[in-house]
C-alpha cells in the first residue's frame, strides 16, 4: 500500500493523518485557510510520491478540500456519507471522534476499491449550482405561500377566491394593496378599476377589469375579518405578498439563466423531445443528474437517483421490495413531477411512459399511484439514458414497440 492521506472534514478545519501501509507518519489538525492549505501542500510535495487522498463528503464543508485538490491537480476519493459509515463501522467500533475517523479512513483504504473522483465539465457543475438555487427559491415560495394563506384567513380570506392556484404579480399586488376589506371602504368601482389597471403589466380590457373591481368590492362588503385594519396580521399579509413578488421574479430570472446555461448541451434538446418535458424540466434534469454519459449503465443512474430496489430477506422472511432512497432526493423529486406532468399532458402527444402508467394501474393487480409513478420514473431514466448514449431523439413508435 502506498501513501494514504485521510481527512475527517468539519466546519473550517479537518483532522489529517498520513499513513504508509500500517504506519502513521503524521497527524494533526489543519485549518481551511490559505496558510493551512499551504502547509498541507508542502507536506504532500515532500513525499516521494503523490498520496491517495480520501475524505468523506460533508456538503459545503468538504467543497473547499475538493477545490484544494483540483487547484493542485491532486487525485482524491470522495466518499458518500452512507458508504463511509458502512466501511468505518465494519469492525466493532465503539469510539467515534474526528481523529478516530481519519485513522479508520486511512487504515481501511487498501481494503476497498475507492474510485478516484471523476470531474464533469464546468458547465455541469455550474448548472448543478443553478438548479439547486432555483429549487431553494421554489421551496421558499411554497413556504411563504402557506404563511400568506394563514394570515389572509384572518384579514381578508375572500381574496383567494379571485385568484387561481398560481399566484401572479397582479394577485400579489392586489393582496398588498387591499390586505383588509376596510382598505376598499369609500372607493368607487371606477377608482378600484383604475388601481387594478395600474397593478398589472397585462393588457386587460376595461370590461374585464371592471368585472374584477365589482367582484372585489362585493367580496369586501360581505367579508367578516377577525382582525382590524391596523392589526399586525395585515402587516404580515403585505410583507408576505411583497416577499413573494420578489421571489417569483428571482425564480423567473433563475429559470432563464438555467435554460441558457444548459441549452448548448446536446441532451437539452434530446430531453425536450420527450412529450411532457419542457425547457425548465430538461434544464433541471441536467443540473441534478449531470452528464448522464458518465454512468456505465442505466441501473447506475437509478442508484444515483435512489430508485433502485432495496431487498431484504432473512430465513423464510422476505420483505416487500422498496426503493432505497439513498441517492439524490432532488433528482428524484424532479423525475417524480416530470412523470406527473407527462400524465397531465397526455393529450398533447403519445408517450409510452404514460401508456406504462395506465398499464400498471389497470392490470389484474392494480398498482397504487405512487408505486406506478416510481416504476415510470425507472422507465423514463432508462429511456433518457439510451437516448443520450445513442444521440437519438424520442420516438414513440420505437419505444412503444420495445415495451410489447
Claim to verify: residue 130 and residue 245 sit in the same structural domain: yes
pLDDT at 61: 94
Claim to verify: residue 251 and residue 291 sit in the same structural domain: no
The CATH number of the domain holding residue 13 is: 3.30.420.10
What whole-number distance in Å separates Cα of residue 192 and Cα of residue 248? Answer: 25
Any residues with CB less than 8 A from the CB of 397 and at least 6 apart, and which? none
Claim to verify: residue 332 and residue 373 sit in the same structural domain: yes
Task: Provide the 3-class DSSP secondary structure of residue 150.
Answer: helix
Is 162 contained in some domain?
A: yes
Claim to verify: residue 199 and residue 291 sit in the same structural domain: no
Q: Fill in the DSSP letter of residue 320.
A: P
Claim to verify: residue 346 and residue 398 sit in the same structural domain: yes
Q: Which three cell numbers stand for residue 179?
A: 390586505
What whole-number distance in Å separates Cα of residue 364 and Cα of residue 347? Answer: 25
What whole-number distance in Å separates Cα of residue 109 and Cα of residue 87? Answer: 9
Note whether 335 and 377 are within 8 A (CB).
Answer: yes
What whole-number distance in Å separates Cα of residue 127 and Cα of residue 140? Answer: 20
Is 47 contained in some domain?
A: yes
Note whether 288 and 128 are within 8 A (CB).
Answer: yes
Claim to verify: residue 206 and residue 88 sit in the same structural domain: no
What whole-number distance in Å separates Cα of residue 34 and Cα of residue 251? Answer: 35
pLDDT at 96: 63
Last residue of a domain, one of 234, 259, 284: 259
Is 52 contained in some domain?
A: yes
Note whether 100 and 125 are within 8 A (CB).
Answer: no
What whole-number distance in Å separates Cα of residue 51 and Cα of residue 64? Answer: 18
Q: Which three cell numbers stand for residue 184?
A: 376598499
What's the predicted TM-score (pTM) here?
0.85
| The pairing of beta strand 317-318 with beta strand 313-314 | antiparallel
Is 121 contained in some domain?
A: no
Give strand pairing partners of 13: 10, 31
Tens of pLDDT, residues 143-175: 999 999 999 999 999 998 877 667 788 889 889
Last residue of a domain, one of 63, 82, 111: 111
Is 116 contained in some domain?
A: no
CA angle (24 as vertex; 57, 44 as ends), nearest 5? 65
Claim to verify: residue 200 and residue 308 sit in the same structural domain: no
Claim to verify: residue 305 and residue 345 sit in the same structural domain: yes
CA distances from 383 to 63, 78, 390 (A): 32, 29, 11
What whole-number distance in Å separates Cα of residue 72 and Cα of residue 79? Answer: 20
Give strand pairing partners of 26: 18
Claim to verify: residue 201 and residue 295 sit in the same structural domain: no
Is 120 contained in some domain?
A: no
The CATH number of the domain holding residue 134 is: 1.10.287
Task: Provide the 3-class DSSP secondary structure of residue 340.
Answer: helix
Claim to verify: residue 202 and residue 255 sit in the same structural domain: yes
- Torsion from C-alpha of 165, 170, 171, 172, nearest 10 degrees: 110
pLDDT at 311: 43
pLDDT at 83: 75
pLDDT at 110: 84
Q: Fill in the DSSP letter of residue 180.
A: S
Question: Which parts of the chain register pLDDT below 50?
Answer: 92, 311-314, 316-321
What whole-number distance in Å separates Cα of residue 106 and Cα of residue 103? Answer: 5
Which alpha helices (H) appear in 188-328, and where do they start and end? 189-198, 206-222, 232-262, 266-272, 279-289, 298-305
CA distances from 281 to 100, 217, 255, 278, 381 (A): 43, 40, 10, 5, 14
| The pairing of beta strand 76-79 with beta strand 317-318 | unpaired
Claim to verify: residue 395 and residue 271 sit in the same structural domain: yes
Q: Which domain holds residue 335?
A: 265-403
Note whether 103 and 216 are within 8 A (CB).
Answer: no
Is 250 contained in some domain?
A: yes
Claim to verify: residue 269 and residue 395 sit in the same structural domain: yes
Is 197 contained in some domain?
A: yes
Instruction: Give the total number of structural domains in the chain.
Output: 3
pLDDT at 318: 40
Amino acid at each position: 500500500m502506498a501513501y494514504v492521506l485521510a481527512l475527517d472534514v468539519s466546519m473550517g478545519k479537518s483532522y489529517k493523518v498520513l499513513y504508509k501501509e500500517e504506519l502513521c507518519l503524521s497527524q494533526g489538525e489543519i485549518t481551511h485557510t490559505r496558510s493551512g492549505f499551504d502547509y498541507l501542500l508542502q507536506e504532500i510535495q515532500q513525499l516521494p510520491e503523490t498520496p491517495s487522498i480520501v475524505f468523506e463528503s460533508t456538503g459545503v464543508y468538504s467543497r473547499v478540500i475538493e477545490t484544494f485538490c483540483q487547484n493542485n491537480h491532486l487525485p482524491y476519493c470522495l466518499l458518500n456519507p452512507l458508504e463511509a459509515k458502512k466501511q468505518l463501522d465494519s469492525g466493532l467500533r465503539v469510539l467515534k471522534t474526528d481523529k478516530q475517523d481519519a485513522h479508520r479512513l486511512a487504515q481501511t483504504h487498501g481494503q476497498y476499491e475507492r474510485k478516484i473522483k471523476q470531474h464533469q465539465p464546468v458547465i455541469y457543475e455550474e448548472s448543478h449550482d443553478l438548479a439547486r438555487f432555483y429549487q431553494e427559491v421554489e421551496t421558499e415560495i411554497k413556504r411563504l405561500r402557506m404563511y400568506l394563506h394563514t394570515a389572509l384567513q384572518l384579514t381578508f380570506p375572500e381574496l383567494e377566491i379571485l385568484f387561481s392556484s398560481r399566484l401572479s404579480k397582479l394577485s400579489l399586488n392586489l393582496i398588498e394593496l387591499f390586505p383588509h376589506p376596510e382598505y376598499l371602504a369609500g372607493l368607487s368601482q371606477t377608482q378600484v378599476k383604475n388601481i387594478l389597471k395600474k397593478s398589472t403589466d397585462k393588457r386587460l380590457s376595461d370590461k374585464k377589469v371592471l368585472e374584477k373591481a365589482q367582484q372585489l368590492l362585493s367580496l369586501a362588503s360581505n367579508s367578516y375579518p377577525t382582525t382590524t385594519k391596523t392589526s399586525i396580521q395585515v402587516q404580515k399579509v403585505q410583507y408576505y405578498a411583497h416577499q413573494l413578488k420578489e421571489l417569483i421574479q428571482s425564480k423567473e430570472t433563475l429559470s432563464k439563466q438555467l435554460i441558457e446555461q444548459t441549452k448548448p448541451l446536446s441532451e437539452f434538446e434530446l430531453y425536450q423531445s420527450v412529450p411532457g418535458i419542457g425547457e425548465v424540466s430538461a434544464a433541471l434534469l441536467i443540473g441534478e443528474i449531470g452528464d448522464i454519459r458518465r454512468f456505465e449503465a442505466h441501473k447506475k443512474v437509478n442508484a444515483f437517483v435512489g430508485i433502485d430496489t432495496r431487498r431484504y430477506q432473512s430465513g423464510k422472511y422476505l420483505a416487500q421490495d422498496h426503493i432505497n432512497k439513498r441517492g439524490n432526493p432532488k433528482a428524484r423529486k424532479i423525475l417524480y413531477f416530470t412523470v406527473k406532468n407527462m400524465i397531465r399532458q397526455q393529450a398533447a402527444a403519445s408517450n409510452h411512459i404514460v401508456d406504462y402508467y395506465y398499464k400498471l394501474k389497470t392490470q389484474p393487480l392494480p398498482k397504487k399511484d405512487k408505486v406506478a409513478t416510481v416504476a415510470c420514473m425507472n422507465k423514463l431514466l432508462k429511456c433518457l439514458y439510451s437516448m443520450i448514449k445513442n444521440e437519438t431523439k424520442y420516438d414513440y413508435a420505437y419505444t412503444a414497440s420495445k415495451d410489447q
